Amino acid sequence: MQAVNGPGFESERKWMVQTQLIPRGISDKLVLDAFRKVPRHMFVPDAFADSAHNDYPLPIGGGQTISQPYMVALMTECLGLKGGEKVLEIGTGSGYQMAILAEIAGEVYSVERLQELADAAGRHLEALGYKNCFIKVGDGTLGWEEKAPYDGIVVTAGAPKIPPSLVRQLKEGGRLVIPVDCGFGQVLTIVERHGPSFKTNEVCGCVFVPLIGKEGWPENSS
């Protein structure tokens, strides 16, 4: 667990957990505690600080969004973390999901394709004192090979199909949580690696910005 010292908005965070997460079935104590602790308002543009805890995504620049609190919680819970793991996130965006993961996991790696977002996220995480977060700019559909294998990988952008590189970088029994296009929308999917093959579980429909890259959508789809 990491020290977080962002003052203010405690009651908003409590309200967010009580009204948006628990009633919808988020029950993992590690996840709920992380949501009570991480100062979400510090990851959104100043103009949106007062609405940071509301039940919807918000713009963060570069045409990208910070996901709705419930979706961040659901994806984190789907990873099934117990504490201390090595986790990879694809799509750093604001850095908020990373901070939530950093409260639970041992090391969190994240890949973002837009330099300006990676820089801002890095600054916010550093200001909050996280020492276990590592960001690189690049095409996250290829993962972060040098740091593999991972206990869990979470992709916070919608993919056309499951990127094989990400499955390859999972540990045995490790989980990839990813929104995948099914032809009429995106489905949040859990992929669990078992030897050379994997089994998939569909969780629910979802809406994410496109995952753009070699094993994602082509460049002009943003």
> Using CB under 6 A as the criterion, which residues of the chain lie in contact with ligand SAH when the complex forms?
64-67, 90-91, 93-94, 96-97, 111-114, 117, 139-141, 156-157, 209, 211-213, 216
User: Closest distance between ligand SAH and the C-beta of residue 212, in Å?
Assistant: 4
Phi, psi (deg, nearest 5) at residue 155: -110, 120
Q: From the candidates 27, 51, 67, 222, which is the catalytic residue?
A: 67
User: Closest distance between ligand SAH and the C-beta of residue 139, in Å?
Assistant: 5
Q: Residue 148 carries which DSSP code? A: -
Nearer to ligand SAH, 73 or 212 (CB): 212
Residues in the chain: 222
Query: Token pair 């753009």 is at which residue?
Result: 212
Q: How far apart are CA 9 and CA 78, in angstroms?
A: 27
Nearer to ligand SAH, 178 or 197 (CB): 178
User: Closest distance between ligand SAH and the C-beta of residue 40, in Å?
Assistant: 9
Nearer to ligand SAH, 113 or 175 (CB): 113
Closest CA to 3 of 96, 129, 133: 129
Nearer to ligand SAH, 51 or 172 (CB): 51
Nearer to ligand SAH, 35 or 96 (CB): 96
Which residue type, as a one-letter code, is found at position 4? V
User: Closest distance between ligand SAH and the C-beta of residue 195, in Å?
Assistant: 27
User: Closest distance between ligand SAH and the C-beta of residue 98, in Å?
Assistant: 7
Cα distances from 148 to residues 27, 37, 166, 169, 193, in angstroms, run 29, 28, 9, 5, 14
Q: Identify whether 94 is a catalytic site residue.
A: no
82 class by beta-carbon count within 10 Å (0-12 exposed, 13-18 middle, 19+ buried): exposed
- How many CB atoms lie under 10 A from the CB of residue 3? 9
Q: How far apart are CA 137 and CA 119, in angstroms?
A: 9
188 class by beta-carbon count within 10 Å (0-12 exposed, 13-18 middle, 19+ buried): buried
Please identify every residue annotated as catalytic. Answer: 67
